[in-house]
């Protein structure tokens, strides 16, 4: 898979992996029909909520986002390295060794168990109704 040379600044979650984080004012604060604040308070609350949510997120990403992205890049590089150079060769070696054990087990069953089963089969086939 080739690296994508450009970044989509519009759709930043094309695979919808963080849809569950879509938090809107209406998801957090709601006034029932029977209880309403003054309209200007409701409008300013809406504006303040969105302003502070977006500002705090931008400050946190500015201060920590690049370092955290670098750490996750290193983590996934390590995972790729471990799978390519350790886990996959280990599983291949295990499959080869298990193949030998399977042949040995099959040979033992054929040599020791199969003759006994055939003898019992011949013995019991002599009994008829």
7 part of a folded domain:
no
E strand map for 45-85: none
Count of structural domains within the chain: 1
Please choose, from the candidates 60, 33, 29, the residue with its C-alpha nearest in 3D space to the C-alpha of residue 45. 29
pLDDT tens for the chain, residues 1 to 129 = 556 568 898 998 899 999 888 889 999 999 999 999 999 999 999 999 999 999 999 999 999 999 999 999 999 999 999 999 999 999 999 999 999 999 999 999 999 999 999 988 888 887 776
| Domain span at 73 | 38-125
| Structural domain contains residue 27 | no
Sign of CA dihedral 96, 98, 102, 104: positive
- pTM, two decimals, is 0.62
């Amino acid at each position: 898979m080739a690296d994508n040379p450009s970044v989509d600044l519009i759709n930043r979650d094309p695979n919808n992996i963080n849809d569950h984080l879509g938090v809107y004012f209406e998801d957090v604060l709601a006034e029932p029909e029977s209880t309403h604040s003054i309209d200007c308070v409701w409008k300013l609350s809406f504006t303040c909520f969105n302003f502070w949510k977006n500002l705090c997120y931008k400050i946190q990403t500015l201060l920590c986002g690049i370092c955290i992205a670098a750490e996750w890049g290193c983590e996934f590089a390590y995972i790729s390295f471990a799978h390519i150079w350790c886990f996959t060769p280990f599983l291949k070696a295990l499959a080869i060794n298990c193949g030998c054990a399977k042949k040995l087990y099959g040979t033992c069953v054929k040599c020791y168990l199969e003759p006994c089963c055939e003898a019992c089969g011949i013995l019991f086939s002599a009994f008829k109704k």
